[in-house]
Amino acid sequence: MQRFLVLDGYDRGGREGLIEAGATLAGTLYQNMIGHYRPKAQIDIFHPADADARLPDLSAYDAMFWTGSSLTIYDNVPAVNRQIELARAAFRLGIPAFGSCWALQLASVAAGGSCRKNPKGREFGLTQQLSLTQDGRQHPVLAGRDAPYCGFTSHFDEVETLPNGTDILVTNQATNVQAAEIHYENGRFFALQYHPEYNFSEIAALAKFRGQGLIAEGFVDGQAGLDKYIEGCQQLDKMPDDKALRAQFAATDDVLRETHKHSEVIRWLDLHFPAEY
């Protein structure tokens, strides 16, 4: 039996905010997604941002999966620093890792790169025109991505500089580094800036969670615009074949069909854990 550790990057306040907004906790989203493809695996969730969290024995796990977070990676605070040190410990142990959003920023900083607030502003909902670089076209985890595609997203920070020797695998005009595989010390960490674990129901809840920021930044037109956006996301989640809703959100099968949306997850698991699972 494989043992997988899911690292939920949210602190307690962030998790409480998600629950209040009706969102699924980030760790649970990852646990459900990985469990769908590896149902025999033992999958544990750990909250490394919490000061009272007791660090598990990392050597007991075959892989680590890192979620998103509402923290900011360049803030010098214990909830962030604990996670950076944990990522470094995993690199030293050579534990393969996969993650999204916060995970890409965390792995980059842990290995010597840097992050910043994206000067182009927040990405939220869908990120469009994701394109493979030459290195990305050669990577087995991205073999199912042969054309510009879209993905779920929610972030306002980005990787500014990747660690030495790390290549950009996916990019677009909104965020230069949309995917990378970071090799550091003994480990390999494949990370996406976008979120394969999300669906439109989760985007609706995140819009509520991030509502005031989305209004202030002009992503939606006031509370009425926010409510309309949330309602549209909820409807599209229930009616993924509705052509008008698809057009409204510029949504394709890339995010509306699980095997498309989870392409990188499936291929990463098959690459590292190809046994009878």
CATH number of the domain residue 48 falls in: 3.40.50.880
With bands split at pLDDT 50, 70 and 90, how would you rate the model's confidence at 146? Answer: confident
DSSP secondary structure letter of residue 108: H
50, part of any domain: yes
Query: 120: which DSSP letter?
Result: T
Degrees to nearest 5, angle at CA 92 with 87 and 94: 95
What φ, ψ does residue 169 adopt, rounded to 5°? Answer: -105, -35
- What tens digit of pLDDT does each residue of 204-218 get? 999 999 999 999 999
Chain segment 64-117, per-residue pLDDT in tens: 999 999 999 999 999 999 999 999 999 999 999 999 999 999 999 999 999 999
Does the structure show a pLDDT above 70 at 275?
no
Backbone angles phi, psi at 163, to 5 degrees: -60, 155
**3-class state of residue 220 by DSSP:** coil
Q: Assess whether pLDDT exceeds 50 at residue 250.
A: yes
Average pLDDT across the chain, whole number: 96
Q: Enter the DSSP assignment of 257.
A: S
* Residue ranges making up the domain that contains 174: 3-198+253-272
The number of domains in the chain is 1
Where residue 184 falls among pLDDT bands split at 50, 70, 90?
Answer: very high
Q: What is the pLDDT of residues 43-53, one digit of tens each?
A: 999 999 999 99
CB-CB neighbours of 76 under 10 Å: 6
56 with 89: CB under 8 angstroms?
no
pLDDT in tens, 187-210: 999 999 999 999 999 999 999 999
DSSP element (H, E) containing 144: none
Instruction: Answer yes or no: is 219 within a domain.
Output: no
- Considering only CA atoms, which of 135, 218, 124, 213 is closest in space to residue 177? 135
Say yes or no to pLDDT of 276 above 70: no
User: Cα 62 from chain centroid?
Assistant: 20
Q: Over the stretch 208-245, which tens digit does the pLDDT of each residue have?
A: 999 999 999 999 999 999 999 999 999 999 999 999 99
Residue 136: Cβ within 10 Å count: 22
Considering the domain boundaries, does residue 94 fall inside one? yes
210 within a domain of the structure (yes/no): no
Asked, for residue 217, whether it belongs to a domain, the answer is no
Give the max Cα distance, the chain: 51
For CA atoms 196, 200, 204, 205, the dihedral sign is: negative
Q: Is 230 a member of any domain?
A: no
In the numeric block, the tokens 């997988």 are attached to 4
Q: How far is Cα 254 from Cα 174, in angstroms, rounded to an integer?
A: 18
- Examine residue 211 and state whether it is found in any structural domain, yes or no: no
Identify the CA nearest to 266 among candidates 172, 152, 154, 190: 190
Does a structural domain hold residue 277? no
Structure tokens, 173 = 């005009």
Helix 222-238 to helix 200-209 angle, to the nearest 10 degrees?
160
Where residue 277 falls among pLDDT bands split at 50, 70, 90? very low
Other beta carbons within 10 angstroms of residue 84's beta carbon come to 16
